[in-house]
């Protein structure tokens, strides 16, 4: 994951968390701004990947998408939890599970893409290990 991707994730989470910390719900406008920021960063990261070739480009694109999925999942979790203060326990738990699942699936997609440059048995082993490591069946 590159520096820009980590910066985008941090910015999205910080923006979402700051709304909650200020004593209110994350407004739809703040949420939409966060989503737009994440999308813009994804587009920027994908454009940067275009300078690479072959499997390196595929891995770069998968990492960019994975970072966006993780940031969007975190933003959605914060919004869901903030919007459901009365049932925050249930909402937080459910939103947390959903975010964790989405992040795990995105990480698996990156790991699987990294296996793409391998051949035959090595590729099969790599994919099998990625499934185990990321809880895929």
Position 90 scores a pLDDT of: 62
Tokens describing residue 114: 């990294």
Of 87 and 67, the structure prediction assigns the larger pLDDT to 67
Position 26 scores a pLDDT of: 47
State which H helix or E strand residue 81 sits in: helix 54-83
| Inter-axis angle of helices 54-83 and 3-21, nearest 10 | 0
CA 125 to chain centroid, in Å, comes to 25
Q: Where are the domains of the chain?
A: 3-133
pTM for the predicted model, two decimal places: 0.58
Task: Tell me the percentage of the chain whose pLDDT exceeds 90.
Answer: 34
Contacts of 1 (CB under 8 A, 6+ apart): 63, 66, 67
Q: What are 34-67's pLDDT values in tens digits?
A: 899 999 999 999 999 999 999 999 999 999 999 9
State which H helix or E strand residue 136 sits in: none
In this structure, the number of other CB atoms found within 10 A of the CB of residue 97 comes to: 11
């Amino acid at each position: 994951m590159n520096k820009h991707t980590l910066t985008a994730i941090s910015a999205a989470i910080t923006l979402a968390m700051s709304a909650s910390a200020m004593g209110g719900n994350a407004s739809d406008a703040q949420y939409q701004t966060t989503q737009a920021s994440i999308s813009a960063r994804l587009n920027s990261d994908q454009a940067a990947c275009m300078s690479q070739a072959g499997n390196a480009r595929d891995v770069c694109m998968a990492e960019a998408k994975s970072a966006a999925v993780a940031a969007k999942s975190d933003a959605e979790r914060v919004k869901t939890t903030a919007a459901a203060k009365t049932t925050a326990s249930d909402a937080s738990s459910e939103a947390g599970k959903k975010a964790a699942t989405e992040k795990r699936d995105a990480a698996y997609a990156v790991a699987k893409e990294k296996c793409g440059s391998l051949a035959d048995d090595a590729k099969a082993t790599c994919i099998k290990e990625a499934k185990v490591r990321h809880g895929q069946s």
